[in-house]
Amino acid sequence: MSARVLLAEDEENILTSLTFLLERAGYDVSVETEGPKVLKAALSTPPDVLVLDVMLPDMDGYEILRRLRASPATERLPVLMLTAKGQREDRETALRCGADLFITKPFANSEIINAIGELAEKRLQ
């Protein structure tokens, strides 16, 4: 059975490219574009890996992550955070909130596929 990846991203074109890449890599991909819906989807059916953008409408990625870490069902859910802000404080905030990995935009496709592969493998072990 292929690993399930939830893509939480509000940029339509980035979603298109990531969906293509992940499907080609054999993942089962679902998509959410609004903060509260991401939280609801991740809590109701936890994916194997969550790719979480920081800037999302109505609830940012940091807040979503804090709430996920507070719930027993998702406290250990592997999360890769994506952001266009590459400053050190953003990285520190992401890691403090409980992100497993942190990648800044623009990214190389191989970078993101490798990171998701690493997290999925860890989840399935």
Partner 1 sequence: MESSILGTRIRQRRREIGTTQAELAQKVGISPSYLNLIEWNKRRIAGPLLGKIATALDISLSELDDVSERRLSITLGEIAHLPALAGVQVEEERINELIGRFPGWARGVASLARSEREATERAYMLSDRLSNDPFLSENIHRILTRIAAVRSISEIIYEYEDIPDDRRREFDRIIYEESRTLSDVAEALAVYLDKAAEDEKVFTPVDEVEALFEHHGNHFSEIETLSEILAPEFAGMNLRQERMRARELVTTRLGETIDRIVGDQAKISTHAGQNRARDLLTEYAVAAATLPMTAFREAAANARYDIETLSAEFACDTDIVCQRLTALPESDDTPTFGYFRANAAGTIIRMLRLERLPVPRYAVACPLWVLFRAQQSSDVLFRQRAIFPSGARFVFVAKAVSQGKVGFGAPRHFVTDMLAMSEEDSFKTVYAPDDDTRLEEVGPSCRLCPRDTCQHRVTDPLTDN
Helices 88-97/61-70 angle, 10° precision:
20
Tokens of 38: 């991401």
Q: Where are the beta strands (DSSP E) in 4-121?
A: 4-8, 28-32, 49-53, 79-83, 101-104
Nearer to partner 1, 67 or 105 (CB): 105
Q: How far is the CB of 33 from partner 1 (least distance, A)?
A: 14
The residue length of the chain stands at 125
Between 58 and 111, name the residue whose CB sits nearer to partner 1: 111
44 vs 88, beta carbon nearer partner 1: 88
Which is closer to partner 1, CB of 30 or CB of 104?
104
Considering the complex, what minimum distance in angstroms separates the CB of residue 14 from partner 1?
A: 5
Rounded to a whole number of angstroms, the minimum distance from the CB of residue 113 to partner 1 is 11
The partner residues of 78 in beta bridges, in order of sequence, read none
- CB of 36 within 8 A of CB of 58? yes
Q: How far is the CB of 85 from partner 1 (least distance, A)?
A: 7
Largest Cα span, the chain: 38
Instruction: Name the site residues for partner 1 (rule: CB under 8 A).
Output: 11, 13-14, 16-18, 20-21, 24, 55, 84-86, 104-109
